[in-house]
């Protein structure tokens, strides 16, 4: 049976499988893994690579399962590059990859490293159709995966979870939850028609915007407070200012443009934090 819906052959199959790699949503979890490793101070490349591959496979799982549910179960999408068999194969490959990475981390690091990876796959696999129908889990699933990526990337290097790594993870959880609320608001009309209860459906688009920007403001205020308290480097203030500038522009845009701006703003936020940690190491504060 074919794996790709639009043809056969190695090239067509490879393109269909690769189509489930969505860089906009794939980049933050992978960057979070690297950021976690950098926070630890000394980076062991092999451990960083294993955790990075595990995060890639977990996010890939989410993309394949979400596409499968939206096209084959909910009849929400107009097209999908993979057949049902192709989706099952892709899910099997990504799940096996996560499992192999977990085995490697259990042997090289310890079982705690595994417990920080497994939940990312569970969130990814169950996002659709289970978690994405509840306002809380629909909003926090992806951000929680990124928070776990930060903690896991840190733990495989340091074999501990410090106050600073936990604080960064919580900041990302809150900030990205705000962005996710805006992202979900794009599909308000359709989600409401199928009784999919995102925050926008639960409280209305206007209040959803208030919730979203309230969450983002809380995260930025936390960064400012933690930088003043010297748990974060002082230069982390620049990350908060940079994202605040983007959020100010996005606040006046519609859901689609706002989502695009905020996601890219989160890239800037993370990049500035990486630079802040690199130029002002946290060894004295961890």
Instruction: Give the whole-number percent of the chain exceeding pLDDT 70.
Output: 97
Over 80: is that where the pLDDT of 274 sits? Answer: yes
DSSP state of 185: H
Between 278 and 103, residue with greater pLDDT: 103
Determine the average pLDDT of the residues in 227-255: 92
Q: Using one digit for the tens of pLDDT, what is the confidence trace for 61-70?
A: 999 999 999 8
Over 50: is that where the pLDDT of 175 sits? Answer: yes
For the chain, give the mean pLDDT: 92
Tell me whether domains 21-161 and 162-280 share a fold.
no
Report the Cα 99 to chain-centroid distance in Å.
Answer: 19
**pLDDT value for 193:** 84
- C-alpha 275/C-alpha 78 separation (Å) is 42
**pLDDT value for 2:** 85
φ, ψ for residue 282, nearest 5 deg: -100, 15
Over 90: is that where the pLDDT of 116 sits? Answer: yes
Determine the average pLDDT of the residues in 203-219: 95
- C-alpha 177/C-alpha 141 separation (Å) is 8
**pLDDT value for 281:** 58
Does the domain formed by 21-161 have CATH 1.10.357.140? yes
Determine the average pLDDT of the residues in 8-32: 92
Domain at 162-280, CATH from 3.40.1000, 3.40.109, 2.40.128, 1.20.120: 1.20.120
Over 60: is that where the pLDDT of 286 sits? Answer: no
Residue whose C-alpha is closest to residue 7's, from 83, 63, 117: 83
Instruction: Give the whole-number percent of the chain exceeding pLDDT 90.
Output: 76
The pTM assigned to this predicted structure is 0.92
**CA R_g for the chain:** 19
Domain boundary assignment for the chain: 21-161, 162-280
């Amino acid at each position: 049976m074919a794996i790709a819906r639009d043809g056969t052959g190695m090239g067509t199959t490879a393109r269909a499988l690769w189509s489930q790699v969505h860089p906009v949503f794939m980049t933050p979890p992978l960057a979070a893994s690297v950021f976690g490793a950098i926070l630890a101070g000394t980076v062991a490349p092999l451990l960083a690579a294993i955790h990075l591959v595990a995060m890639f496979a977990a996010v890939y799982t989410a993309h394949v399962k979400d596409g499968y549910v939206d096209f084959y179960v909910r009849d929400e999408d107009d097209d999908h590059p993979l057949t049902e068999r192709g989706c099952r194969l892709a899910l099997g490959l990504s799940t096996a990859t996560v499992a192999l990475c977990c085995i490697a981390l259990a042997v090289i690091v310890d079982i705690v490293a595994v417990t920080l990876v497994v939940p990312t796959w569970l969130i990814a696999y169950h996002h659709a159709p289970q978690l994405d129908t509840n306002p809380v889990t629909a909003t926090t699933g992806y951000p929680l995966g990124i928070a776990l990526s930060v903690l896991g990337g840190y733990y495989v290097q340091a074999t501990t979870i410090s106050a600073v790594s936990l604080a960064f993870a919580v900041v990302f959880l809150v900030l990205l939850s705000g962005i996710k609320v805006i992202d979900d608001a794009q599909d308000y009309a359709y989600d409401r028609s199928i009784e999919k209860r995102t925050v926008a459906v639960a409280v209305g688009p206007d209040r959803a915007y208030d919730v979203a920007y309230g969450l983002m403001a809380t995260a930025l205020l936390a960064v400012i407070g933690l930088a003043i308290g010297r748990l974060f480097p002082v230069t982390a203030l620049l990350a908060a200012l940079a994202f605040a500038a983007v959020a100010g522009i996005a606040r006046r845009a519609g859901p689609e443009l706002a989502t695009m701006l905020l996601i890219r703003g989160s890239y800037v936020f993370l990049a500035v934090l990486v630079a802040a940690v690199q130029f002002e190491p946290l060894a004295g504060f961890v």
